[in-house]
Structure 1
């Protein structure tokens, strides 16, 4: 396998681990900084919001920067920011370092996808992108659980050392193996944001935001939502996180196979309906390990499985702008993650972590309604185009 692609995948694995690992170590971080679990959850919000907002901006502003330099700068900043989190004396400085880590991720992630596509012939670009994206999805199945177990057995500082070490390995690989590649055509920030004026795109992205708010309202506070099932055992917690990640990885692979037969509308509707139902029952299923394992597996598979038809739906709306639209969908995902962390922090003190799923399931239900509105707008647009052609 191409070691250049593996190096990019390793960088995405580091970024993904950093995104998801906090779900397993928030209680330890809260105790370390002497703050509430909700306040500690804002470390997730700071990273996700920085990533979401700066991704399109960096892609536009850095269009003239050599790809290898941008990759090294992004992963280097990511490593330094994570080391900064380790030594941060208070939650305020930790939040600042998390925002910097998000900036590093925003520099690296879209650049890695674009560079990977340039490293191979056109007929192998789909394969190259699948390898790079696999680094991100594998982080949910391996990186996050490993980090959670490290945090439980030692402390959360060693979890961040683990994340930083992954980044250092990716930096070394890029430095050693990555060639210079031609710069892609520059796309201005205005052009990148122009698709948002299309209501079909806006409603589809709103579906992603709402669905991720519901999912990550639970996932961000995973350790306290499922504390009855895990008994505060880091190995059991890591096992549940493995189930969540593996289910999502398998669902991504299977969804692509059935998408053409079922269609994106039915697939998104079915996946999100399952997510809403499973999340709603978590106050009961989260009380026992066996039922929590079933719930986590269904939830993880369907939550991740909905992303593929969402991206397909966007790409079908404007094929020449596929890369921009997929990038906007990634930003929408992290906007949802950032909102979820803030909302969870606001409501846990009043309703408790075990009842958080009621609010999360309502959010996913609203996402289903918005998805249906998007589908109707897309169908109406298709009819209009057919009539014009006729």
Structure 2
């Protein structure tokens, strides 16, 4: 594998940590900034919303810029956002910093995906994309426990300074190892937005959206699930989070290898169908803790196995508009996280049953499977060029 892909993965890890890492330290942030926990929670909501909306827009507006230069510039803005967070005297400044880091994170991730796909041979493209998604998944699933540990030891502000330093290191490595990558074809903003009219691609994005929605229907409430179904204490819950995180990180690589071996289309169906089954069966595995651990590892690995074959499918289907579609796909991922968290909260609040919540999550994944089949069976319709 091209070593530059690993460098891009490091940059993705550093920027990805920012999104959910505040989840475990909300009380600390709220207390330091003299706001309620509810207000502090808006730091997560605003980040996800800005990320989802700004990714495609920024990608289209920067279509004329050389890719390496743009990546370095965006990483610089991300570092600035973390420095602002570190020195922020009030909640308002932290919120402004969250907007900056959300916008830069959205662009950095889509740039890393498109660059990784370009600097490797076609037969290794899915695996390269998988490595990038290993960085994304590892930052999302390990961010909360890492944030708690670092914050307890050094304070929550130092956490963001550390992330900024990681991004700065990534800038240095990219500056010295990555060659110039020119834009192959420039489309107008209007033309790139028309890409969503492509039903084959739109249904591919909906496949990602409902897959992640099904996942977060239960994962967003993983702690109460472990408490109610298995009666675990805080120590064992932390252990489960780390095991889940490690398995999820491996899932990105697994999805890429699966696509390289069996093809993207077959892999998409296998992953989504298997994920629907494991989510439905998960509550029944709690009769035995070892059995649950096995089920949890499979659940975790599959949760991030879809992204590499789906992203590779996008490149294979419409290479000319692949960049904008990769950005749309990451936005769909963010919307899926938000939707799943919302649905899980509603179902759990109405039924007080984690088993029902998991089954509703499985139903959302079945919807994802339906959109996946629809996409694969649709004819190719490329975006109109201007």
Q: Normalising by the residue count of structure 2, what TM-score does the alignment of the two structures yield?
A: 0.77
- How far apart are residue 133 of structure 1 and its match? 4.1
Mapping 1:59-138, distance limit 5 Å: 59-119=59-119, 129-138=129-138
In 1, the alpha carbon distance for the partners of 2:34 and 2:222 equals 19
How far apart, CA to CA, are the structure 2 residues paired with 1:266 and 1:165?
Answer: 39
* Aligned match for 1:362, one of 360, 363, 368: 360
Gaps of 5+ in 2: 381-386
Deviation, 1:368, is 1.1
- Look up the SS of the partner of 1:25 in the other structure: helix
Following the alignment from structure 1 to structure 2, what is the Cα–Cα distance between the partners of residues 193 and 7? 30
Instruction: Give the C-alpha shift of residue 299 in structure 1.
Output: 2.6
Distance 1:34 1:351 in 2: 29
Cα pair distance change 1:316/1:129, threshold 3 Å: closer
Query: How far apart in 2 are the matches of 1:247 and 1:159?
Result: 24
Q: Is the 8 A contact 2:16 2:140 kept in 1?
A: yes
Aligned residue number for residue 191 of structure 1: 191
Deviation of the 1:11 alpha carbon: 0.9
* Rounded Cα–Cα distance in structure 1 between residues aligned with 2:28 and 2:181: 43
- Report Cα offsets for 1:59-84 as digits up to 9, x if no partner: 11112223333222211221222233
- Whole-angstrom distance in 1 between the partners of 2:93 and 2:359: 33
Offset of 1:102 from its aligned partner? 0.8
Moved more, 312-321 or 14-23: 312-321
Aligned pair in 2 of structure 1 residues 63, 24: CA closer, same or farther (>3 Å)? same
The aligned residue for residue 273 of structure 1 is 277
Q: Structure 1: 5+ residue runs without aligned partners?
A: 383-390
Matches within 5 A, 1:100-249: 100-119=100-119, 129-140=129-140, 145-220=145-220, 222=222, 226=226, 231-233=233-235, 238-249=238-249
Shift of 1:354: 7.5
Cα deviation, residue 240, structure 1: 2.7
Offset, 1:58 = 1.2
1:27, CA displacement in angstroms?
4.7
CA distance in 2, matches of 1:220, 1:33: 25
Aligned partners of 1:272 and 1:303 also within 8 Å: no
> How far apart are the structure 2 equivalents of 1:289 and 1:167?
39
CA contact (8 A) 2:314 2:322 kept: yes
How far the C-alpha of 1:332 sits from its partner, in A, is 0.6
Q: Is the 8 A contact 1:70 1:107 kept in 2?
A: no
- 1:264 is matched with 268
Q: Which moved more, 1:132-141 or 1:106-115?
A: 132-141
Say if 1:371 and 1:155 are closer, same or farther in 2 by CA, change over 3 A: same
Instruction: Report if the CA contact (8 A) 2:129-2:311 is conserved.
Output: no
Pairwise CA distance, 1:14: 0.5
Which of 127-136 and 350-359 deviates more? 350-359
Aligned 8 A contact 1:264 1:309 in 2: yes
Query: Aligned-pair RMSD on alpha carbons?
Result: 4.0
1:63 and 1:184 in contact (8 A); partners too: no
Native 8 Å contact 2:272 2:368 kept in 1: no
**Could you say if the C-alpha distance between residues 165 and 225 of structure 1 is closer, same or farther in structure 2, counting changes exceeding 3 Å?**
farther
CA distance in 1, matches of 2:160, 2:267: 41
Distance in 1, Cα, partners of 2:77 & 2:37: 27
Q: Check whether the contact 1:224–1:353 (CA below 8 A) recurs between aligned residues.
A: no
Q: Kindly state the Cα deviation for residue 310 of structure 1 after the two structures are TM-superposed.
A: 3.7
How much does 1:37 deviate? 5.3
